[in-house]
Structure 1
Amino acid sequence: MRFRSKQVHAGVTPDPTTGAILTPIYQSTTFVQESVDTYLAKGYSYSRSGNPTVRALEKKLAVLEGGADATCFTTGMSAVHGTMLAFLSAGDHAIISDVAYGGTYRLCTKVLNRFGIDFTFADTADPAAVKAAVRKNTKLFLTETPANPTMKLSDIAAISEIAQAAKAVHVVDNTFLTPCYQQALELGADLSLHSTTKYFDGHNATVGGAVIAKTKELDEKLRFIQNSTGSIMSPQVAWLTLQGCKTLSVRMDQQSANAMAIARYLEKHDKVKQVAYPGLESFSQHELAKKQASGFGAMMWFEVKGGVKAGKQLMDNIELWTLAENLGSVESLITHPVTMTHAAVEKKERERVGIIDGLVRLSVGLEDAEDLIEALEKALAAIKV
């Protein structure tokens, strides 16, 4: 099946008891066994170790990413945490994209480093810099591409080759583009990681995470950690995410079209200093964006002239766009990363990787592009600096 057919049908079958077209919500702690000799004959014993509703979502995500299997977690951050626990131990070293979600940075620098794990935040847009950061004890590469919030891209195939030579696993945070536009495993990655909260859900209804593995062996390591730590996705969340998956490509195509229209508008505005959107020819890595992805996504950022003060004035006067954390939903969202999503990152580190004080991040939704542009026009006109 092609992608659109997979997103509707993969992983789910009519309920064998009733014929219900939707996978039931198996809201059950435990599952009755027929006998000791046939223990686990039906595949389930206790929902921490596996649940039929969650399993349906895992199967669908594995098919969409072209992986051997998938493991779902409580949140996107628990997926990052679980992945690091599965493949890193005391004395190991990991290479992380220098531009990454603030929660990932916080986990590495405030939590996991206390347990004897070393982290290097390398410029993963430069394969030579990544190669130079490799040590004998490097066990994991985590590449976030496009990166949050600067949209910096990393060459997945090139970094996968470096990771393979180092006998380390390469994890790609594929949240921004999803397998709809970017097939990370096909490009060479070992694991594709997602905050399912974002585009898979698409409706601001759930929080969840998932990791899709290229091989069963890799998935088994993830599943062992997930079961051991109890970081499981609930059946209610899995059921809602299953429904969101069915419209993933339709939503992303329209949101991406809206994003392109908005990026072109902002690029010409006299109060905008710069715009970063991979679909623009002016984007420094536009050719790489075309090479490794089939679409440009719906995330972008721009800088208004006047820095932080101008940015705050814009957000104080914006209509239609919602000032809220999250991304990938049908509603268009606007955020100020320095004070919101990346507040946990030290100022010096933010500036080093390009998260400037006046950066405004947009997650473009499904509203009419003309209405979104008119709202931006009005808010930009209100800036007085």
Structure 2
Amino acid sequence: MSDKRLATIAVRTGIDSDSQYHAVVPPIYLTSTYSFPAFGEVPQYDYSRSGNPTRNTLADALSELEGGAGGVVTSCGTAAMNLLVTALLGPDDLIVAPHDCYGGTYRLFNTRANKGDFKVEFVDQSDQEALAAALAKKPKLIWVETPSNPLVRVVDIAALCQQAKEVGCLVAVDNTFLSPLLQQPISLGADFVVHSTTKYLNGHSDVVGGVLISKDAEMAETIAWWANCIGATGAPFDAYLTLRGLRTLAPRMRMHEENGVAVLEYLQQQAMVGTIYHPSLPSHPGHDIAKRQQKGFGSMMSFEFAGSQAQLEVFVKELKLFSLAESLGGTESLIAHPSSMTHRAMSDEAQAEAGISTSLLRLSVGLEDPRDLVADLEQAFHLAAEAH
């Protein structure tokens, strides 16, 4: 484990590593192939699908931030998930996943299970009876998403990892909503951490990528082998941009949280806002767990719109500083309607079971001036209230 603090790791990884021209910022290696030094001598890098210096620098930075032994940067977050289940699971193996996970996660696991690649069971992981029943089936892997997307529910990672260990089960945690600056699942007992690097790690909504990090060095080599085998690795230029974004992660996360607090305080005063979902609220399920295992509450939040469907549509349409879009974690603020957007891959029944209603809206609070964000929400609520 590094003795450097997380912000320093994010800023300094790769800096002053260029031995040829002594560039402070490491160069981008866009090459697809590499020369062999001599016949029969295999170099460290031979082909960029299997290894690339720029991509590896990013993987090293993210692995160090998460306290892992090694990682693989992939073409997207879904590719990182797919890499893990491909490397670990066979037709007779069971994965236990949250019933309220990201829609793309649900689609991937459900579709591959229906093909017979492995078995999957979606359970409410905060329900101890349901979780115990699932663990009694001796799963090979438990997939954890905390805070969850879109209801930001919190799971006790340390407790779940202890339960999993008792039945010989591995645990993977999707840490996308918080980043390693606010939560480090490996330190709580997890075996793997996954991120969609598209989100906070890159932070500028201009790159799609993912990463899979392993606590165990031998397993890190295994997933690297599989990443090369199935072609899951990310592009060097995308890795460069993500590494560039990573250098400002610490100040960005501070501002995301500050702006999130301002927006949250405003929402709590609005008549057209029903239940608000955010781990900082004492009424939020898992609030005490979040205080214990997280270093911050993050700036992702959702709320039930307490008006008609027509008023909801007016509210979303009239927003000027919250773009109606999927994804999250960029400098710009976004609003999403999970039922028809990020979670539309789930059936109506699955959405209902997960607690995703048609009145639910999800906010990714960006880095604009918080006074402008609040003013924008104010004018949109006012126009929605006037609509019939």
**Same fold by TM (over 0.5)?**
yes
**SS state at 2:148 partner:** coil
1:19 corresponds in structure 2 to 22
Do the aligned residues in 1 keep the contact of 2:154 with 2:285 (CA within 8 Å)? no
Q: Report the count of equivalent residues.
A: 383
1:320 corresponds in structure 2 to 321
1:237 corresponds in structure 2 to 238
Give the whole-Å Cα distance in 2 for the aligned partners of 1:113 and 1:92: 13
Give the whole-Å Cα distance in 1 for the aligned partners of 2:236 and 2:123: 37
Deviation at residue 116 of structure 1 after TM alignment: 4.2
Give the whole-Å Cα distance in 1 for the aligned partners of 2:170 and 2:285: 28
Pairing 1:148-187 to 2, within 5 Å after superposition: 148-187=149-188
**SS state at 2:233 partner:** coil
Give the whole-Å Cα distance in 2 for the aligned partners of 1:129 and 1:137: 14
Verify: 1:30 aligned to 2:37, yes or no.
no
1:284 corresponds in structure 2 to 285
1:6 corresponds in structure 2 to 9
Give the whole-Å Cα distance in 1 for the aligned partners of 2:114 and 2:158: 28
1:207 corresponds in structure 2 to 208
Using the size of structure 2 for normalisation, the TM-score is 0.96
Alignment gaps of 5+ in structure 1 = none
**SS state at 1:179 partner:** coil
Cα RMSD of the aligned pairs, angstroms, is 1.3
Do the aligned residues in 2 keep the contact of 1:327 with 1:333 (CA within 8 Å)? yes
Q: Kindly provide the CA deviation profile for residues 199-257 of structure 1, in whole angstroms up to 9, marking residues without a partner as x.
A: 01100110000011101112122112111111111000000000111111110111111
Do the aligned residues in 1 keep the contact of 2:14 with 2:26 (CA within 8 Å)? no
Do the aligned residues in 2 keep the contact of 1:11 with 1:58 (CA within 8 Å)? no
Give the whole-Å Cα distance in 2 for the aligned partners of 1:227 and 1:141: 24
Q: Kindly provide the CA deviation profile for residues 39-72 of structure 1, in whole angstroms up to 9, marking residues without a partner as x.
A: 22xx111111100100100110011001111111
**SS state at 2:132 partner:** helix
**SS state at 1:26 partner:** coil
**SS state at 1:186 partner:** helix
Deviation at residue 115 of structure 1 after TM alignment: 2.2
Do the aligned residues in 2 keep the contact of 1:127 with 1:158 (CA within 8 Å)? no
Pairing 1:80-91 to 2, within 5 Å after superposition: 80-91=81-92
Pairing 1:229-308 to 2, within 5 Å after superposition: 229-308=230-309
1:221 corresponds in structure 2 to 222
Give the whole-Å Cα distance in 1 for the aligned partners of 2:307 and 2:225: 50
Give the whole-Å Cα distance in 1 for the aligned partners of 2:104 and 2:213: 20
1:339 corresponds in structure 2 to 340
Deviation at residue 137 of structure 1 after TM alignment: 4.7
**SS state at 2:280 partner:** coil
2:58 corresponds in structure 1 to 57
Do the aligned residues in 1 keep the contact of 2:333 with 2:368 (CA within 8 Å)? yes
How many percent identity over aligned positions? 39
Do the aligned residues in 1 keep the contact of 2:109 with 2:120 (CA within 8 Å)? yes
Give the whole-Å Cα distance in 1 for the aligned partners of 2:151 and 2:131: 18
Q: Kindly provide the CA deviation profile for residues 257-309 of structure 1, in whole angstroms up to 9, marking residues without a partner as x.
A: 11111111101211111211111223232111111001011100011112533
Alignment gaps of 5+ in structure 2 = none
Matched residue type, 2:315: L
Q: Kindly provide the CA deviation profile for residues 92-130 of structure 1, in whole angstroms up to 9, marking residues without a partner as x.
A: 111001111111101111234312411111111234422
